[in-house]
Amino acid sequence: MSQDEPTDEAVVQTASDAAEGLVFSRYKQSDVRDCDITVTFEAGVLEVDVYINVPDDVDGPDPEDTADEAALAARDAVDDLFGE
């Protein structure tokens, strides 16, 4: 790793923040029963898993679609971090 590359911790934090930001831009925090964002970055490989539990009576986008979009937002944020 060169000195200009972000640390693994910075990559994980950036991805996590982006995913969480997207989720809570779509839902009020009080409407979300559970939100689990798991990010790993090992050997240059980023893995992002997002789970959202929102009651059926809450208006808003589909939770599965939102989870997928949050994972993509995390990956995009990491790409930006690396300047790609």
CATH number of domain containing 26: 3.30.300.100
- Let me know if residue 55 belongs to a domain: yes
Which pTM does this prediction carry? 0.92
Task: Confirm whether 69 is domain-assigned.
Answer: yes
Which residues, including other chains, have CB under 8 Å from residue 79's CB and lie 6 or more apart? none
Q: Quick: pLDDT tens for 63-75.
A: 999 999 999 999 9
Per residue in 52-63, pLDDT tens? 999 999 999 999
Residue 1 lies in a domain: no
pLDDT at res. 84: 73
User: Domains in the chain: how many in total?
Assistant: 1
Tokens of 12: 């994980």
**Does residue 3 form part of some domain?**
no
Q: Is residue 2 part of a domain?
A: no
In this structure, of 1-5, 20-24, 60-64, 66-70, the range with the lowest mean pLDDT score is: 1-5
Strands (E), the chain: 34-42, 45-53
The least confident of 1-5, 27-31, 55-59 is 1-5
- The whole domain housing 70 covers 8-81
pLDDT confidence of residue 77: 98
